[in-house]
Amino acid sequence: MNTLLKRSLALLIAFSGFVLPGFAETPAVQGKAPDFTLSTPEGQPVRLSNLLKQGDVALVFLRGFPGYQCPICQRQVHDLELDSAKFAASGIQLLLVYPGQAAQLDQRAKEFMTKEDALPANFHLVIDPDFTVTNLYGLRWNADRETAYPSTFLLDKTGKVMWLKISHTHGDRATTGDILGALGTPGAKQ
């Protein structure tokens, strides 16, 4: 099957809510990340390609709401937020994908952000109802009380994957040092 047909089928299947094995492929390093539009918990659309026009993007897939708020996801986002100035200085936008069942996902995502203040300007939290984009990226953790494999993709302005980290456990998440280190940013902790 040629690449264009395979990608078209993958998009059609992902956006219809069904995924057949072998169609949703996780983008590899040097591969192109599929574009998508998801909404914030408040309903504002965010398109990946629009963020890429502003610079590199760290695309972070969280576990979302598997029946409870994931404390490891909360810690990861908090730690990334603490280093928001480093990301801003490097011109990186962070796109945080919060996947889950569509019912009440917007409310669950609002609960996830327990801080009273807003996210830094270069951070964007979007919800992924019924795992549409999670499936598109081949990251669905299809087990009891699971949602998505915690994953981070560092994308350049063209949408090419420069670096990625996929965890098949709850831990071992990408850190600020991992992301900035992948760019070769001076002073990034390893």
What are the residues whose beta carbons fall under 8 Å from the beta carbon of 161, sequence distance 6 or more?
A: 27, 28, 29, 30, 31, 32, 33, 153, 154, 155
pLDDT at residue 11 tops 70: no
Banded model confidence at residue 116, pLDDT cuts 50, 70, 90: low
Q: Where do runs of H (alpha helix) occur along the chain?
A: 3-16, 48-52, 71-82, 84-89, 105-112, 132-136, 176-183
pLDDT at residue 1 tops 80: no
The 8 Å CB, 24+ separation contacts for 128-132 are 128/38, 128/64, 128/97, 128/98, 128/99, 128/100, 129/100, 129/101, 129/102, 129/105, 130/17, 130/101, 130/102, 131/99, 131/100, 132/14, 132/15, 132/17, 132/36, 132/38
pLDDT for 28? 95
The pTM of the full predicted model, rounded to 2 decimals, is: 0.84
Banded model confidence at residue 22, pLDDT cuts 50, 70, 90: very low
Domain ranges of the chain: 26-183
Among the residue ranges 32-46, 58-72, 108-122, 164-178, the one predicted with the least confidence is 108-122
The fold of 26-183 is Glutaredoxin (3.40.30)
Mean pLDDT of 115-126: 85
Question: Nearest 5°: phi and psi at 188?
Answer: -70, 130
Helix axes 71-82, 176-183, angle to 10 degrees: 50
Do 63 and 101 touch, CB atoms closer than 8 A?
Answer: no
pLDDT for 19? 42
pLDDT for 118? 80
What are the residues whose beta carbons fall under 8 Å from the beta carbon of 177, sequence distance 6 or more?
A: 188, 189, 190
